[in-house]
Structure 1
């Protein structure tokens, strides 16, 4: 494809194979996240949420860059009134990724900076190439992360580490990202996408309603006090006993042992 920019409709592609969706960004050269790309990410995430043939999602960019942040050319002349609306739309798009009620893994090559890092943070798991680079360099532009960086990064690595990265704007290599919990696995570049696909495939044919409930409970854990979180867990736990999958899973365990159940997602 060279340096020719794909048509707008092709810059966010959703490819579904055997229950696994690959949500791929392709806006050369650096996957800069302009307003249209953000909107299309949100629409693709909503499609992943609604489609019953999708069990899990792999979020990825190119082989040299995941996403290098917001399109600064598009923002430089905007003022406060414009950014009130623009920032809401940006958070909504990435929030749509975070709210996909299915397992989501980010497969990260190259740079994941600013909005690109924030997009990776919206996934449930991050698998990075050994040469991948992460960062929230917004402070170097006189601003702060605006697509979840101050919130999701803090919940992932803790306040002190988040402040270090956000205050300094410094870049973090894959090894340090792994050490501080920013990524979950570091592999050779050629293994990033296959590893992400392998992780996602294990949920095909899984208990979709139980996975949905588990994700909601874990995601809410950082937002509520312990008692409220336990109450939510208790309600979700009890509700799953109304599903066909729970009956299938428990009967299969008693008759055949663990890991043999064939779920139907109901």
Structure 2
């Protein structure tokens, strides 16, 4: 087969993959509408004004944040406003269980992810913990011990589906790891586009200690992030690394010195989200789609996917606004159109 034939075939395959990906996103939005009507949570899990100020680390001291053992507080989602409009902060809040993944948390996170997915005004998502010293300790083993053996498989499948949906969000996702992220907790972070950790955070896929394997994407995502050999080493040995070592391995993109309030990674993630916020939202979504689809195929097909994604931004009003702003030497006002 000639080079021109190969290139033509790559373009066709690339366009086909892009169409499929866009169809999946459209189907996900339709499914989200149906799911929203059946879940017990509200359309957008919002808090009272009092809870808003307490729910998200803000540099005023993590120790001052109130906690609740009420199941409805297991997850707190905040849609920021003002200059931070478009940033969504998803905070896990199970202090007594070290943010372990329970049936209720899976349900609430799934609802939150579906609501984010169908909201075109969202530009980035920060996944963090509201509990000092812990990101997520993995599966709730106390709850798991009470499950009948027939319940374990379906629960793991739901948790895996949740993490897959988190990874499929069309906007940038940032995991702010200010404490221990173990097992399923690290798998959630691995599903995010970017991971930022404090230097004191602990991370590891430790399932082999329990005679099981990572079951929510860890065996697939970790090798893609740090390479096959290192991933095998960490998983086989159930090794836990700190934030600085995780950065050296490429497990996280940035490691920051922890502060007195215990939210250094969150604050760094917020700064990154603020850098992303003013950029063209459609362009960001297409860039993420091109990267995620392209990384799984050969270079020629990946370039064709990039070409197809580029074609999606050409007719947008935002592109014309970007050109006008450049010409007029002003900050562009992108609207996602």
Superposition TM-score, scaled by structure 1 size: 0.92
Indicate whether 1:36 and 2:104 are aligned: yes
CA distance in 2 between partners of 1:137 and 1:92 (Å): 20
Structure 1 segments (4+ residues) deviating >4 Å: 1-5, 77-81
Indicate whether 1:23 and 2:122 are aligned: no
Q: Residues 260 and 218 (structure 1 numbering): CA distance in 2 closer, same or farther, change over 3 Å?
A: same
Residue 128 of structure 2 contacts residue 176 of structure 2 at CA under 8 Å; is this kept in 1? yes
CA distance in 2 between partners of 1:201 and 1:138 (Å): 35
Match of 2:128 in 1: 60
Indicate whether 1:262 and 2:333 are aligned: yes
In structure 1, the gaps of 5 or more residues are none
Q: Which is higher, the Rg of structure 1 or of structure 2? A: 2
CA distance in 2 between partners of 1:216 and 1:49 (Å): 14
Match of 2:225 in 1: 156
Residue 205 of structure 1 contacts residue 264 of structure 1 at CA under 8 Å; is this kept in 2? no
Match of 2:117 in 1: 49
3-state SS of 2:181 partner: strand
Match of 2:313 in 1: 240
CA distance in 1 between partners of 2:88 and 2:325 (Å): 28
3-state SS of 1:6 partner: coil
Q: 1:143 aligns with which of 189, 193, 212?
A: 212
3-state SS of 1:242 partner: coil
Q: 1:98 aligns with which of 167, 191, 194?
A: 167
**1:140-196 residue CA offsets vs partner (Å, 9 max, x unmatched):** 101100111011111100000110111110111111100010011111223322211
Residue 105 of structure 1 contacts residue 126 of structure 1 at CA under 8 Å; is this kept in 2? yes
Residue 206 of structure 1 contacts residue 264 of structure 1 at CA under 8 Å; is this kept in 2? no
Match of 1:217 in 2: 290
Figure out how many residues of one structure are paired with residues of the other and give that number: 264
Q: 1:195 aligns with which of 268, 279, 298?
A: 268
Coordinate RMSD, CA, aligned: 2.0
CA distance in 2 between partners of 1:252 and 1:181 (Å): 36
CA distance in 2 between partners of 1:10 and 1:79 (Å): 26
3-state SS of 2:99 partner: coil
Residue 22 of structure 1 contacts residue 60 of structure 1 at CA under 8 Å; is this kept in 2? yes
Indicate whether 1:7 and 2:80 are aligned: no
3-state SS of 1:202 partner: helix
* Alpha-carbon shift at residue 210 of structure 1 (Å): 0.8
Match of 2:253 in 1: 184
Q: Residues 227 and 50 (structure 1 numbering): CA distance in 2 closer, same or farther, change over 3 Å?
A: same
CA distance in 1 between partners of 2:127 and 2:252 (Å): 14
Match of 1:118 in 2: 187
In structure 2, the gaps of 5 or more residues are 1-63
**1:216-241 residue CA offsets vs partner (Å, 9 max, x unmatched):** 11112332222222221111101210
CA distance in 2 between partners of 1:215 and 1:80 (Å): 39
CA distance in 1 between partners of 2:301 and 2:273 (Å): 30
Relative to structure 2, which stretch is displaced further, 95-104 or 177-186? 95-104
CA distance in 2 between partners of 1:80 and 1:210 (Å): 46
